[in-house]
Amino acid sequence: MIANSVNTILGLVLVYAAVLRPSLVDAQPINLLVAALVIIGCALWARRSDRMSWFSITNIIVGAAAVLLAVAHMSTRTPATVTFWGVFWIGIIVSVIALWAMLYRPESQRS
For 23-73, write each residue's pLDDT tens digit: 898 888 999 999 999 999 999 999 988 888 899 999 999 999 999 999 999
Q: What is the mean pLDDT of the chain?
A: 91
Residue 60: the pLDDT is 96
- Provide CB contacts within 8 A for 29, sequence distance 6+: 70, 73, 74
Residue 57: the pLDDT is 95
Tell me the CB-side half-sphere exposure of residue 13, using CA atoms within 13 A: 15
* Alpha carbon distances (Å) from 4 to 49, 62, 64, 65, 84: 10, 14, 17, 18, 24
pLDDT over 70 percentage in the chain: 94
Residue 109: the pLDDT is 56
- In the predicted model, what is the mean pLDDT of residues 84-90? 96
Contact 40, 63 (CB under 8 A): yes
- Residue 19 three-state SS: helix
